[in-house]
Amino acid sequence: MAKFAKLSFKKDELNKELSGFFKGMLENGAVNAVLAPMAQAKKGVRLSLVTSAAHTAQVDPFAPVAAVSGAKIASSLTARPSGRKVAMVLRPCEIRAVVELVKLKQVNLDDVLLIGMDCLGRYENTDFAKFQEQGGTSESFLENAQAGKTGMGDFDLIGACKICEFPAAENVDMRLCAIGSGSDSVFIEAVTSKGEEALEKSGLKTGESPAGRDDAVKKLVATRTEARDKKFTEYRAETNTFEALSDKLSACINCYNCRVACPVCYCKECVFVTDTFRHNGDQFMMWADKDGILKMPNDTLFYHLTRITHMSLFCVGCGQCTSACPNDIDLMPLFRTSADKTQARFNYQAGRSVDEEQPMAGFKSDELVEVTGQVK
Amino acid sequence: MSEFEPKIVAFFCNWCTFTAADLAGTSRLSYPPNLKIIRVMCSGMVDPKFVLKAFLNGADGVLIGGCWPGDCHYINGNMKARRRVALVTELLKQFGIGEERFWLRWIAASEGNMLKEVADEMTAKLKQLGPSPLQNKGQMVV
């Protein structure tokens, strides 16, 4: 049975109450460090690694921004483990990417207390700066977003979040529950025994559960799923030929920012920066000769398609690719629509379970007979 | 106007399908010259990039030939190829290259006549389908 601790807060004191929880965990030795979104000295909120209880005051987990995917940070911290216990406060998309990285042995959860926050979405970095300038806070965001008011002035949530059907985190030790928990409280839920132990050590009293949460989450998932299906239909109609797809990507400058930002682009060294793609001049001339013209840098569509073959099975739809593009190409729907098809083919869902084998990591002798259509 | 001749890039495994092509030759079987055969050590080493690049450069079809399940010289390379082909098929389909242009077939070393049959069948199918939608797209961002 899940255990909940209720954190009631007065106006503008949500983060103060939350910092008390993290402070308690650090001081009582539940963990040695906390990785969580923290307010920066002047402006902005970034994931920070806190080892001193004094700094927990800056914690701001519900800030609607994620400058980089926390899954990549989790990989940096644990691929070669420190041996120290760390609580990681991450978004559901980041946690689903973590699940995939665990299977790729690029994240090690042995010393990690995984805390998933309820996520109503995020703004682009530049929009988050405007949000703060206009006086927006995590509290105001939680309240407005739950009332369906996510936009402010000339900006709104990123496209990925508007069609994300995973507002609540799974495969975690604890959850920070904000959806359907009322405007003056959030709940901390212990999901696993590891989580229960940590909640106990934090010093918070367990008690009532958030009555309206399940329904509120369900409702949000339904709205988002509907938006997702609509977006998929639209995007597929716009990209049903290679020519249409290449038009969508025409502004691409082969900077590869999308794969740097992608939490599940798992290669240690991308093939597109290796000697495989460092061609001699006469090779380019030969390609140009074929049609009399060659766009440079070349291999743009080839790069994106290759990336799909590599990461679409693990795509969690976080939208970091779109955020990273310096030329405002909306890449998220390309990878999400592709991922939808490829994951369905293998009855796989990125981030669903650590125990599910990644499709390209195995095979069965009696499967996929329809591929060749031959029976001996 | 002369009849459309499809270009088919054929990746044949060294141990089975390429040997079958050899057998078809020594048996004096004739099959269409539309197949451009590339000998690979195993169907399991056909990287999705090879297939994508072939289509992006205007191939009308791609055929991968491997050993029958259980016969792979490297034990299970062909099984890995099958999953990979399923993956790439899903991708290509979305952008207008259907599975009728991208084939994986098991052809054993002794099956020279089957190689001829598959080559005939694929060539006929592609003639009927017409050129790849990616032909002559010099201005495209490839």
Integer Cα distance of A36 and A86 in angstroms: 10
Is there a single domain that holds both residue A45 and residue A93? yes
- Cβ–Cβ under 8 Å, residues A331 and A321: yes
Largest CA distance in chain B: 48
Order the strands of the B8-13 sheet from edge to edge. Answer: B35-40, B8-13, B61-66, B102-106
How many structural domains compose chain B?
Answer: 1
Same domain (yes/no): A202, A287: no
Q: Of the candidates B128, B126, B139, B113, which has an alpha carbon nearest to the alpha carbon of residue B59?
A: B126
Q: Residue A364 falls within a domain, yes or no?
A: no
> Is this complex scored with an ipTM above 0.85?
yes
β-pairing verdict for A3-8 and A45-50: unpaired
Given pLDDT bands bounded at 50, 70 and 90, which one contains residue A173? very high
Distance from CA of A310 to the nearest CA of B (A): 9
pLDDT in tens, A118-152: 999 999 999 999 999 999 999 999 999 999 899 88
Total CB pairs under 8 A between chain A and B: 118
Name the domain boundary from A160, A192, A227: A227
Show the domain range for B62.
8-129
Contacts of B137 in chain A (CB under 8 A): 242-243, 246
Domain assignment present for residue B139? The answer is no
B125 touches chain A (CB under 8 A): no
User: What does A246-270 look like in DSSP terms, one character per residue?
Assistant: HHHTTT-----HHHHH-TT---SS-
CB B6 within 8 A of CB B60: yes
Looking at the structure, do residues A193 and A256 belong to the same domain, yes or no? no
Give percent above pLDDT 70 in chain A: 99
CB atoms B49 and A271 under 8 Å: yes
Average pLDDT, integer, range A178-198: 92
- Select from A299, A337, A371 the Cβ nearest to the Cβ of B82: A371
3-class DSSP state of A208: coil
Domain shared by A106 and A48, yes or no: yes
Q: What is the pLDDT of residue B114?
A: 95
Same domain flag for A101 and A204: yes
pLDDT class of A108 with cuts at 50, 70, 90: very high
pLDDT digits (tens, 9 = 90+) for B84-102: 999 999 999 999 999 999 9
| Percent over 90 (pLDDT), chain A | 87
Pairing of strands A45-50, A86-90: unpaired
Whether B107 maps to a domain, the answer reads yes
From CA B87, how far away is CA B10, in angstroms rounded? 18
Nearest CA among A114, A109, A113 for reference residue A31: A113
Structural domain total, chain A: 2
Average pLDDT for chain A: 94
Residue partners of A298: CB distance under 8 A and separation at least 6 = A284, A287, B142
Sign of the CA dihedral running B111, B113, B119, B125: negative
pLDDT in tens, B115-141: 999 999 999 999 999 999 887 565 454
Query: Do A221 and A250 lie in a common domain?
Result: no
Q: Residues A322, A158: contact at Cβ < 8 Å?
A: yes
A243 CB within 8 Å of a chain B CB: yes
Same domain, yes or no: A16 and A156: yes
Stretch B6-12: mean pLDDT, rounded? 96
A208 and A249 share a domain? no
Q: Considering the domain boundaries, does residue A234 fall inside one? A: no
Are A17 and A9 in contact, with CB atoms under 8 Å apart?
yes
Kindly tell me if the per-residue pLDDT of A84 is higher than 80: yes
Q: Can you give the pLDDT at residue A58?
A: 94
**Dist CA B56 CA A301 (whole Å):** 9
**In which residue are the tokens 């739950």 written?**
A146
The answer to the question of residue B137 being in a domain is no
The domain boundary, picked from A227, A251, A266, lies at A227
Domain match, A296 and A221 both: no
Among A80-89, A235-244, B18-27, B133-142, the minimum mean pLDDT is found in B133-142
Nearest by CB to B106, from A240, A313, A374: name it.
A374
The per-residue pLDDT for B137 is 61
Residue B1 in any domain: the answer is: no
Query: For A253-274, what is the mean pLDDT?
Result: 94
B76/A363 touch (CB, cutoff 8 Å), yes or no: yes
| Average pLDDT in chain B | 92
- Residue B32 sits in a domain of what CATH number? 3.40.50
pLDDT digits (tens, 9 = 90+) for A304-317: 999 999 999 999 99
Q: Please indicate, yes or no, whether residues A254 and A183 belong to a single structural domain of this protein.
A: no
Query: Which residues of chain A make contact with B133, given a CB cutoff of 8 A?
Result: 241-243
Per the structure block, which two tokens stand in for A313?
Answer: 């099975």
Task: Check residue B138 and give its pLDDT.
Answer: 53
Q: What confidence tens digit (pLDDT) does each residue in A264-306 have? A: 999 999 999 999 999 999 999 998 998 888 889 989 999 999 9
Q: Which residues of A touch B87 (CB under 8 A)?
A: 309, 313, 342, 345-346, 359-360
Using the 8-state DSSP alphabet, how is residue B104 labeled?
Answer: E
Q: Is residue B57 part of a domain?
A: yes
pLDDT at B74 over 90: yes
Q: How far is it, in rounded angstroms, from Cα A157 to Cα A120? A: 9
Q: Determine, for residues B140 and A243 on separate chains, whether the beta-carbon distance falls below 8 Å.
A: yes
Q: Taking CB atoms and an 8 Å cutoff, what residues of chain A touch B53?
A: 302
| Domain limits for position A193 | 3-227
| CB atoms A359 and B134 under 8 Å | no
CA distance B56 to chain A (A): 8
Domain assignment of residue B142, yes or no: no
Confidence grade of residue A375 (pLDDT, cut at 50, 70, 90): confident
Residue ranges of alpha helices (H) inside chain B are 17-26, 48-56, 77-94, 112-129
User: Do the strands B8-13 and B35-40 form a parallel or antiparallel pair, or are they unpaired?
Assistant: parallel
CA distance A206 to A203: 9
Burial of A111 (0-12, 13-18, 19+ CB in 10 A): middle
Report how far apart, in Å, the C-alpha atoms of B65 and of each of B45, B88, B113, B128 are.
12, 16, 14, 22
Which pLDDT value is given to residue A179? Answer: 94
pLDDT over 60 (residue A1): no
**Phi, psi at B22, each rounded to 5°:** -60, -45
Provide the 3-class DSSP secondary structure of residue A83.
coil
**Angle at CA of residue A234, ends A299 and A313, nearest 5°:** 55
Residue B3, pLDDT score: 85
What residues are paired with A37 via a beta bridge? A47
Which tokens in the block code for residue A271? 């093939």
**pLDDT confidence band for A209 (50 / 70 / 90):** confident
Distance separating alpha carbons of residues B114 and B119, to the nearest angstrom: 8
Cβ contacts of B56 on chain A, cutoff 8 Å = 242, 301-302, 305
User: Which helix (H) or strand (E) element contains residue A86?
Assistant: strand A86-90
Q: Rounded mean pLDDT of B62-81?
A: 95
**Residue that finishes a domain, picked among A203, A227, A251:** A227
Residue tagged 């998929």 (tokens): A232
B97 touches chain A (CB under 8 A): yes
pLDDT score recorded for residue A183:
85
Nearest CA-CA distance, residue B30 and chain A, Å: 23
Query: A190 and A132 in one domain?
Result: yes
Same domain, A248 and A103: no
Q: What is the Cα–Cα distance from A206 to A190, expressed in whole angstroms? A: 9
Q: A287: nearest CA in chain B?
A: B57
The four Cα atoms A254, A256, A258, A264 give a dihedral, to 10 degrees, of: 140
